[in-house]
Amino acid sequence: MPIFSKPLRVHFSPDKKLHQSLRNILGFYPGNIALYKSAFRHSSAASHIKDGVKDSNERLEFLGDSVIGTVVADYLFKKFPFKDEGFLTKMRSKMVSRNQHNTIANKLGLNNFIERDTDRRGMPSSINGDAYEALIGAIYLDKGFDFAQQFLLTRIINVHIDMEEVETKEVDFKSKFIEWAQKEKKDWTFETAVDGNAAADKLFTIQLIVEEKVMGSAQHFSKKRAEQMAAEAACVLIGI
Amino acid sequence: MPIFSKPLRVHFSPDKKLHQSLRNILGFYPGNIALYKSAFRHSSAASHIKDGVKDSNERLEFLGDSVIGTVVADYLFKKFPFKDEGFLTKMRSKMVSRNQHNTIANKLGLNNFIERDTDRRGMPSSINGDAYEALIGAIYLDKGFDFAQQFLLTRIINVHIDMEEVETKEVDFKSKFIEWAQKEKKDWTFETAVDGNAAADKLFTIQLIVEEKVMGSAQHFSKKRAEQMAAEAACVLIGI
């Protein structure tokens, strides 16, 4: 049976509309609709089920994140037969970055599906990327690895990821560092010293201070570039 | 056809012996034997093929590591339906640690298969764990995800991993830190100050110094414990 035909159960489902909307963005009818509902449930809208665990999308996000990583690893392994594992690792980390996932989620319009506490303000933008990861976890559980892989290849990677751009894009170490610091709840600051008076030959010395320790420092005539270099040094030290 | 029957091609293969040995430890006959040969080829025994890339097992290791991560994520997701993603993440990192992979490789006897430069001394013990990861990458490419998953569940996780031990085991932060420092080629040292004279009330103050920066410090009456605590602080700072 082709996956795009409408199964009988959809006609009688109380979630008929959700089935139809998901069919439109995913290209197939979900089997177990409960999985997809979980995938779109942010923790702010979740209820406790047992032992302090909520029926939010965080467990599915854990699973989906891993599935995406494996599908991308396989894709890169086959696309670049003459590149070493250092290259593959770097490419993957760019393809599965938080930014990339947020962008994909926005292109798919997942924000229309997300269930969350609308009274709370200032939700992080990563809520969309997290839902995307959880959605892949749901597809994997619902339809299996091969199906999830086909979905990722034909509906995401080939359509929404520009591989040339990924290959040439420099890693934005400042964003990477800030993301880490937010996750780890670290205080940090860039401290700047300026040498030289004429605008033309001002040399910026930047120190990146994390919890009172210097984690990286760099000098450059461009302040932006010096920050990137200091952040890169910190990322290397941290090992991210 | 049951997977344990001997395919005709094996009779005529120049690698008949390897086929047979792999059958004995894996429980199935390999399809594409070249993949398994790559999986066991350490970079010290590899030759250059193109653009500085070698035919070593490092690319397969990259792939296999990811497949193992996903299979373990799925396993934990289903085994612990009422645990949150923090628990799942912690359990997985213990199940896929370098130590765990070395142990599994040794139990499977993979060292008998590894091809390496025998003139070189002092190979790291991780060479076995790396070959194990590469082997899973080879199985995945040879037989697909579902087969690799079945293999991991029935022949590795259910047989070689004691889940109760994993669940109760404390993370050894000192080993974790040292592993990171070796990988990142960082100089480090524990610096000790001792307060008190009588053996009974000696309080050890330990600082973990990495490249001249204090990355963690702790006080305890047990020197070992203080080192663990200082290493834990460093691991948190590093974000590993």
Structural domain contains residue B3: no
Same domain, A51 and A147: yes
Residues of A noted as catalytic: 65, 133
Looking at residue B100, which CATH number applies to its domain?
Answer: 1.10.1520.10
Same domain, A134 and A194: no
In this complex, the residue of B49, B66, B74 whose CB is nearest that of residue A73 is B66
Cα angle: B120, vertex B126, B130; to 5 degrees: 105
Region of poorest pLDDT, from A223-232, B5-14, B184-193: B5-14
Last residue of a domain, one of B138, B168, B198: B168
pLDDT digits (tens, 9 = 90+) for B98-127: 889 999 999 999 999 999 887 777 677 789
Residue B70 tokens, joined: 């996903």
Say which residue, A183 or B142, is predicted with more confidence.
B142
Binned at pLDDT 50, 70 and 90, residue A3 comes out as low
In this complex, the residue of A69, A85, A238 whose CB is nearest that of residue B239 is A238
Chain A: nearest CA to B41, how far in angstroms? 14
Rg (CA), chain A: 22
Same domain, B22 and B103: yes
Structural domain contains residue A152: yes
Structural domain contains residue A161: yes
pLDDT digits (tens, 9 = 90+) for A109-162: 999 999 988 777 767 778 999 999 999 999 999 999 999 999 999 999 999 999
- Asked if the C-beta of A25 comes within 8 angstroms of chain B's C-beta atoms, the answer is no
Same domain, A63 and A107: yes
Cα angle: B209, vertex B213, B218; to 5 degrees: 50
Binned at pLDDT 50, 70 and 90, residue B3 comes out as low
Same domain, A74 and A109: yes
Q: What is the mean pLDDT of chain A?
A: 88
Chain A: nearest CA to B236, how far in angstroms? 8
Cα A227 from Cα A114, distance rounded (Å)? 36
User: For residue A147, what is the nearest residue in chain B, using CA coordinates?
Assistant: B145
- Please tell me the total count of domains within chain B: 2
Burial of B209 (0-12, 13-18, 19+ CB in 10 A): middle
Same domain, A144 and A225: no
Structural domain contains residue B15: yes
* Burial profile A16-33: b = 16 or more Cβ within 10 angstroms, e = fewer: eebbeebbeebebbbbeb
Q: What is the mean pLDDT of chain B?
A: 88
Q: Do A88 and B144 touch (CB under 8 A)?
A: no
Model confidence at B64: pLDDT above 60? yes
- Residue B172: the pLDDT is 76
CA A236 vs. chain centroid, Å, equals: 21
| ipTM for this model | 0.76
Structural domain harbouring B189:
173-238
Same domain, A137 and A198: no
Chain B: nearest CA to A74, how far in angstroms? 6
In this complex, the residue of A63, A84, A240 whose CB is nearest that of residue B59 is A84
Which 205-234 residues of chain B touch chain A by CB within 8 A? 210-211, 213-214
Same domain, B190 and B150: no
Structural domain contains residue A2: no
Same domain, A97 and A208: no
Say which residue, B199 or A90, is predicted with more confidence.
A90
Last residue of a domain, one of A128, A150, A168: A168
Last residue of a domain, one of B111, B136, B168: B168
Which 59-118 residues of chain B touch chain A by CB within 8 A? 59, 61-63, 66-67, 69-70, 73-74, 77, 82-85, 88-89
Structural domain contains residue B1: no
Binned at pLDDT 50, 70 and 90, residue A4 comes out as low
- What predicted TM-score, i.e. pTM, was given to this entire model? 0.76
Same domain, A116 and A29: yes
User: Which chain A residues have a beta carbon less than 8 Å from that of B49?
Assistant: 82
Burial of B85 (0-12, 13-18, 19+ CB in 10 A): buried
Looking at residue B178, which CATH number applies to its domain?
Answer: 3.30.160.20
